[in-house]
């Protein structure tokens, strides 16, 4: 009965590879988000989708491409991984007309 | 742009000590204000929120009051426990915006 789930939980890969992180929420929320948390715990929004439509696209390299096949899923694909992409990536969702966001457990990405 | 500034950590306390984490914001208009908590190895959880001036949010013994005159939303707890060890994030959002802007986070460690 996990509310917001992410897979994988850990991801270790080589520079230059392409990888995807998946996110699913079973809360019936309309809006989903991707955040990046760096080693100093600083949290920054990357993307947001509302009803499968992209509504927030912060200054993120175009190697990062979100995809929302339906309201319950928001995946993050990363091309040509770089060392600086190492971080924890959090997915979140929120219901309509609410600022409360529900976070997944995070995906710890390490690029070697 | 809108921003949130939190006191720097880490903060280390003994059990039953009083905890205060300062948070101030810069914004055009009157945002809603939040405290999120991240326990070790987990995603963020909403701790409390306040949507207008003089509102007090409270949860799990934590409190914060929205002070428009000082643009602050300081988090307090009168008697902390070891289980309160976590990273605490102050955040703001506007009603016409899906985005949460987070502070840098404050790591709190409570020792028995």
Distance from the B95 Cα atom to the nearest Cα atom in chain A, whole angstroms = 8
pLDDT for B59 equals: 96
Question: Which pLDDT band holds residue B79 (cuts at 50, 70, 90)?
Answer: very high
How far apart CA B59 and CA A7 sit, in angstroms, is 30
Question: Which of A56, A99, A106 has its CB closest to that of B43?
Answer: A106
Q: Which of B43, B44, B100 has the highest number of chain A CBs within 10 A, making it the mutation to test binding with A?
A: B43
Task: Give pLDDT tens digits for B41-74.
Answer: 888 999 999 999 999 999 999 999 999 999 999 9
How far apart CA A79 and CA A75 sit, in angstroms, is 13
Looking at chain B, the whole-number percentage of residues with pLDDT higher than 70 is 97
Return the residue matching tokens 């988090």: B75
How many CB atoms lie under 10 A from the CB of residue B53?
12
pLDDT for A1 equals: 60
Which residues of chain A fall below pLDDT 50? none
For residue B94, what are the contacts with CB-CB under 8 A and spacing of at least 6?
B2, B27, B29, B31, B32
- Provide the Cα torsion A105, A27, B99, A80; round to 10°: 50
What residues 43-102 of chain B have any CB closer than 8 A to a CB of chain A? 43-46, 49, 87, 89, 93, 95, 98-100, 102
How far apart CA B60 and CA B71 sit, in angstroms, is 24
Query: Average pLDDT in the B23-43 region?
Result: 92
How far apart CA A32 and CA A21 sit, in angstroms, is 14
Query: Average pLDDT in the B15-30 region?
Result: 94
The 8-class DSSP code of residue B79 comes to S
Distance from the A58 Cα atom to the nearest Cα atom in chain B, whole angstroms = 10
> Which residues in A lie closer than 8 A to residue B105 (C-beta atoms)?
41-43
> Which residues in A lie closer than 8 A to residue B98 (C-beta atoms)?
31, 33, 48, 50, 55-56, 94
**DSSP of B9-60, one letter per residue?**
--EEEETT--EEE-EEEE-SS--EEEEEEE-TTS-EEEEEEE-STT-EEEET
pLDDT for B55 equals: 95
Residue B108 has pLDDT above 80, yes or no: yes
């Amino acid at each position: 009965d996990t509310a917001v789930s992410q897979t994988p939980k850990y991801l270790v890969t080589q520079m230059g590879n392409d990888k995807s992180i998946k996110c699913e929420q079973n809360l019936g929320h309309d809006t989903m988000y991707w955040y990046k948390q760096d080693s100093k715990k600083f949290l920054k929004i990357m993307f947001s989708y509302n009803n499968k439509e992209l509504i927030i696209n912060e200054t993120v390299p175009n190697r990062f491409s979100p995809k929302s096949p339906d309201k319950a899923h928001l995946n993050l694909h990363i091309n040509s991984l770089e060392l600086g992409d190492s971080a924890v990536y959090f997915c979140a969702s929120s219901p309509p007309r609410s600022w409360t966001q529900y976070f997944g457990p995070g995906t710890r990405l390490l690029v070697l | 742009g809108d921003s949130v500034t939190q006191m720097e950590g880490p903060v280390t306390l003994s059990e039953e000590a009083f905890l205060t984490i300062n948070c101030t914001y810069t914004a055009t208009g009157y945002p809603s204000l939040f405290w999120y908590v991240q326990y070790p190895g987990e995603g963020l959880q909403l701790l409390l929120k306040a949507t207008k001036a003089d509102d007090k949010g409270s949860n799990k013994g934590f409190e914060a009051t929205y002070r428009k005159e000082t643009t602050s939303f300081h988090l307090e707890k009168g008697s902390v426990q070891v289980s309160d060890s976590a990273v605490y994030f102050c955040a703001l959002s506007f009603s016409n915006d899906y985005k949460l802007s987070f502070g840098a986070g404050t790591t709190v460690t409570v020792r028995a």
